[in-house]
Structure 1
């Protein structure tokens, strides 16, 4: 086998990250910029934004062998069932062509009862793909959506060159569901599936546990060039129990106002929560079901009191109604603002067929269903993200 060529890892080879931080090993992709990270020291947020959901290497090459060295950081939850290693998806000319995982890496052991965490260091690992077609092609390596991943080295048996960005860029923000929790692999999270079907380039700012209408996230969305923007708002507001109805409405307005400062006419779609039975009528906070944990199962439960809705505590039904009202009011002056009811993506009939396995997050099959439905509702003719045909060519 001929010697492999080492290509320096640069921003030109990386898509879906807002920032690349140099480290002692290589480059760490971030999905929030340094300014945003400096304004919130919440470990959950910092862990989520460093997990590269939607981040991928993209290049043109005739290579038949591709090797990527990385240093992953894996999460282990004390007392919970073991989590599978993160998956790297190899996509060649738009088609999933291989999957692999990396040995080694760091480990973060988290006690879900106390929030305490212990870090354990490990070695750099290598993911290797062989027998690629010996022709010019576009290669993407989607990084594990649920593992912080430092990029260390890229090697191939033929030269590579960056791929010029083509088509529309879709910028999406949401919770752990958008982040990809329980999805089978990084290219099969529901936003990745929807992006593939819609023919757009995804920047995924789905942040597990951290879709909380934070002003610094709004500024990141404002400052990231995009042709399309969507916001999936609600579940984290409820399960973190961070605000009441009085604060929620103005916070949504402020979030939208900030985005519109930088992107005043970009199609902007507000998506309300999908069905989550434990929080439809019961406020948060959500908590781990300790009894289920003792059986080696991971489940969540709502700990609020439905009677507290009268005092302004939020449930998913309340949030859906409030988001629909806010968008309808604003749309009179903002014709590019749209609303999508999350129950159209996953509703009661879907829950009967495909229940949420941990009572909070969808499984792999449900990610696919949500992605396909979002693509049908948003990207198809008449949808808010439909391409406009002008002079024989499509544009957003």
Structure 2
């Protein structure tokens, strides 16, 4: 078995990245972002900063005859005091569109979060190396999908044959925005988040702006969607607004209109799909905020609870049922003048009939098997014949 290689290093430039909105030179490496620098400057929320720097849907794409490659990366690991260590982020290597291998990178920076004390400590660590060998000895397209849930700075790319950027795929570009569920939550890997799976089944190029905990109708997110080239756009709205108890119905309705208005400034006729929340029993009729049950951390379980009261709906507090009804009404109203605007009830992706077989393990997020079901159902309802994205392009 071959163990030595004549390595050559390829500069990591922005043209090697797909799925990123921005790529930052950090002094240590290249850090892909899913919001542009001007948008990041408009919000100092650490949850947003963490989510947008986790490269869900971001991948390196290039052509090469290399049979071996190494990627030096500087991950940022998260540790929660009192809870078991989180698994390392997963990198997935595709050769000509087929999954070839998976791996993780040790080392990197560590963020230690004490949710009881409300403290955060950061420690710096060294870069680690990911290696794949035995690749087919022919010209091929190689994709390295970065961990969807681990901030990742890329330091160096080495191969045993020259590398060149892959030409544009020519595929339809699908731009999607949503919450941690769209971000990938507990998916098994970066190509099996539900949007990545749906994109693969639909034969489209994904840009995933799913932002864990941060799908909050922020104007800078709407402007990012407006300014990002795309042939198809979807926005999944609702669960984070309930989680954070951020706004009441009076504010929600005009905020949705404003969000859609902004997207339409840059994409006046692109097919635009509004997706309401999947079923989440704790918040169907009970408002937020959503809180973590700290008593379950010690045995490695995360459990969330709804802290609102159903009666508070009379004061305009949002529940998932309220949000679905209002989103459906808004889309129907706007579609009279916007025939390319469509609505999908999230319960068509995960609903009451699924909860017995695939319950939400923490009461809030789908597990790996549920991501696969949601992705398959989205592709079947949206990308196949009769779906609102079927055969649509720019």
* Equivalent in 351, 354, 371 of residue 350 of structure 1: 354
Alignment match, 2:42 = 39
- Contact 1:81–1:298 under 8 Å retained in 2: no
List alignment gaps of at least 5 residues for structure 1: 389-394
Displacement after TM superposition at 1:294 (Å): 4.4
Q: 1:194 to 1:34 in 2, by over 3 A?
A: same
Distance (whole Å) between structure 1 residues aligned to residue 118 and residue 364 of structure 2: 19
- Contact 2:83–2:299 under 8 Å retained in 1: no
Displacement after TM superposition at 1:291 (Å): 2.7
Alignment match, 1:145 = 148
SS across alignment from 1:188: coil
List alignment gaps of at least 5 residues for structure 2: none
Distance (whole Å) between structure 2 residues aligned to residue 232 and residue 23 of structure 1: 31
Alignment match, 1:282 = 286
Distance (whole Å) between structure 2 residues aligned to residue 172 and residue 383 of structure 1: 16
Displacement after TM superposition at 1:182 (Å): 0.4
* Equivalent in 266, 269, 272 of residue 265 of structure 1: 269
Alignment match, 2:119 = 116
- Contact 2:244–2:290 under 8 Å retained in 1: yes
* Aligned pairs for 1:146-185 within 5 A: 146-165=149-168, 166-185=170-189
SS across alignment from 2:191: helix
Distance (whole Å) between structure 2 residues aligned to residue 2 and residue 113 of structure 1: 49
Distance (whole Å) between structure 1 residues aligned to residue 107 and residue 259 of structure 2: 40
* Aligned pairs for 1:220-299 within 5 A: 220-299=224-303
Alignment match, 2:29 = 26
Deviations 1:308-332 (A, max 9, x none): 0010000000001100000010001
Deviations 1:313-370 (A, max 9, x none): 0000000110000001000100111100000000011111100111110000000000
Alignment match, 1:77 = 80
TM-score by length of 2: 0.97
Count of residues paired in the alignment: 390
Alignment match, 1:132 = 135
Alignment match, 1:330 = 334
Q: 1:115 to 1:191 in 2, by over 3 A?
A: farther
- The answer on 1:63 being equivalent to 2:66 is yes
Displacement after TM superposition at 1:5 (Å): 1.1
Distance (whole Å) between structure 1 residues aligned to residue 242 and residue 357 of structure 2: 24
TM-score by length of 1: 0.97
- Contact 2:70–2:129 under 8 Å retained in 1: yes
Distance (whole Å) between structure 1 residues aligned to residue 99 and residue 322 of structure 2: 40
* Equivalent in 72, 82, 90 of residue 87 of structure 1: 90
Distance (whole Å) between structure 1 residues aligned to residue 352 and residue 119 of structure 2: 36
